[in-house]
Amino acid sequence: MKIGVDYYPEQWDKSLWEQDASLMAQTGVKVVRIGEFAWSKLEPQEGEFDFNWLDEALGVFQRFGLKIVLSVPTSCPPQWLYELHPEIIRVAPDGNMVQIGKRGHRCVNSPVFQKYAKRIAKELILRYGEHPAVTHWQIDTEIEAYPCCCDECKASFRNWLIDKYGSLEAINAALGTKTWSGEYTSMTHIQPPTAYPLEEQNPALCLEWYRFTSESAAAFVREIALAMRHEKHKLRITTTTSFAEDTPDVYKLYNDVDFVAYNNYPPLEIPSDPEEFYSHSFFLDLMRGIKGHKFWVMEQLSGPVCKAGKMSPTLRPGMLMGYSLQALAHGADTVIHYRWRTAASGAEMFRHGLIDHSNVPGRRFFEFAELCKTATKISVIDTTELVSDVAIMYLPENEYALKLQPQAEGFSYLEQLRYFHWAFSHYGANVDVVPPYADLSSYKVVIAPAMYVYNKVAVENIYRYVINGGTLVMTNRSGVKDNNNNCIMEPLPTVFRELIGADITEYDPVGEREQMITDFAGNKFVCRQWCDILNVTTAKAYAEYSDNYYRCCPAVTMNRYCNGVAYYVGTVCKSDFYESFVGNIMRQTGMPRLKGLPRGVEVTTRTNGLDDFIFFFNNSEETATITLPKAMYSIIDSAGKDKLELKPFEVDIVRK
């Protein structure tokens, strides 16, 4: 378990480097990430490289035993490159070049930009590929599926479509262009769907544009990685992401790098609404699931953040430690904090790091120092991993398509995934968030919410899992679209009808209007957003609607299929339904449950095959008391305990 920091030597006077590196080493920092925005410092003029300052900085870190993640700084091309080649600047939906000055304003499809990006990457590898302190490499940062509308991207998109479909006639058929007289009679007619709000445009075209921009981002990372490995084969390479407006398909993004790295910024304010899931545990599990093994946090929250010139509240005591250990609990083996020093200039001068503008270490810094000590203390879990009985299937295309057409007021794809994630976690179960092609055979339960857009691999995987004896849960808005994001003209849920043993005769997009359902035991729960009205064929009703004209019609069903069981949840409820529903499924599948956990307490277990280490994280603003089923040994306090008293955001780890 390594703790690190982000550092920008090019932004600070050299006189600070030595004292910063010395304090890092004394504090317990193991890893430093540098270089992600330093292109203009490394190549101040066309073809003129200056590595002397970086040689000196790396030498300082090396003397103090610090390992380095060196970044290829392609997110921020230097001003001279924009002036020399303005064609590399991204073009906005309005047809104008974006104003440069921020990061990410280059077009990753531009051959000219790619040439310069590969050159700086190769120069860095040739210089530092054998440097003993440089152990890992990062390409770009938070690369997005940018909707660039330059001529290069337009031409590339058209070529991508013709490569995929083979002819203009096939493109028209796939995209359903007969609507609104939209048929293409020339490839030049095809334009990126960005001129108007996306919800007003062809959903099939929009999904293809998302696929293209995602693949463009992934292809750029792949090309830079290949250029680097051409110079030195054995490199540990990654890129980073965070969930933003234009986040690409993460499975594609990380396909050609060695490990996943995530920029993790949990919320600083705990919402008062108990139905609002603020925990980042879901996203951490998603990151672990991309490649199915441990990942890095390349940026971890260290202080107040700033958006639109306004600063957030500061971290509460315990947050810095708690959120870092939460990441470790969910599969991170390295957590790097953004950043060592708060910037004194630039747009992010109020996006705080560990040391504020006062240049005097304060409360957050000392909590960070305590975290470094704790990471050393819990090194016994370095060889452990998470083993889960539950998987939640996440498909980026479903998320995109349901953002494009949200179906009903308040409807959210991710919310449905997170309801189930929360419910299983509330009982202390580990949860994997997995891609559609994941091996499902080891899981006792698989959740596949809102399988909206047809994915052949996912459908076959789901059927295979249930046929072989698995327990599956599906939800509303499944089987709605074909792979082109056009509606399927069959009774819903189309390809899944046989599996769930029911037809949807009608649906009611109720939005925020609350209604009730009653389960088989007479328990009543609030439902809203969406109501599928189900006609069972081979299934049995698990719950029925209690009001509206479809009162007594099934809302949730259970169907035995071959050797397995498939549940279908035709509505969206509040968290108490998922807690009850998941509890029943865990009991039926023989999964152990922790009962009576205070709301906000998260439990995660890591194992080495001999010993289980259980993380208890109080992700709330209230002190929590947890009675353990038996006395256990705390590796945080080096003491036996039969009860845990956790302050807000405090973590304890006990050996089972």
Q: Which residues carry out catalysis?
A: 142, 299
Beta-carbon count within 10 A of 453 CB: 24
357 in Cβ contact with 321 (< 8 Å): no
CA dihedral 642, 647, 653, 656 (to 10 degrees): 20
Query: Is the dihedral angle over the CA atoms 614, 324, 306, 314 positive or is it negative?
Result: positive
Whole-angstrom distance, CA of residue 153 vs CA of residue 146: 10
Whole-angstrom distance, CA of residue 652 vs CA of residue 322: 10
Whole-angstrom distance, CA of residue 329 vs CA of residue 612: 12
3-state secondary structure of 345: coil
Whole-angstrom distance, CA of residue 572 vs CA of residue 511: 10
Whole-angstrom distance, CA of residue 239 vs CA of residue 103: 15
Which helix (H) or strand (E) is 445 found in, with range?
strand 445-448
The position carrying tokens 């304010």 is 269
Q: Which is nearest to 585 in space by CA: 433, 420, 455?
A: 420
DSSP string, 564-588: EEEEEE-EEE-HHHHHHHHHHHHHH
Whole-angstrom distance, CA of residue 456 vs CA of residue 453: 10
Query: Is the dihedral angle over the CA atoms 219, 220, 221, 226 positive or is it negative?
Result: positive
Beta-carbon count within 10 A of 374 CB: 20
Whole-angstrom distance, CA of residue 182 vs CA of residue 200: 13
Going by DSSP bridges, is the β-strand pair 554-561/540-545 parallel, antiparallel, or unpaired? antiparallel
541 in Cβ contact with 500 (< 8 Å): no
Q: Where are the alpha helices (DSSP H) in 129-179?
A: 151-165, 168-175
Amino acid at site 539: A
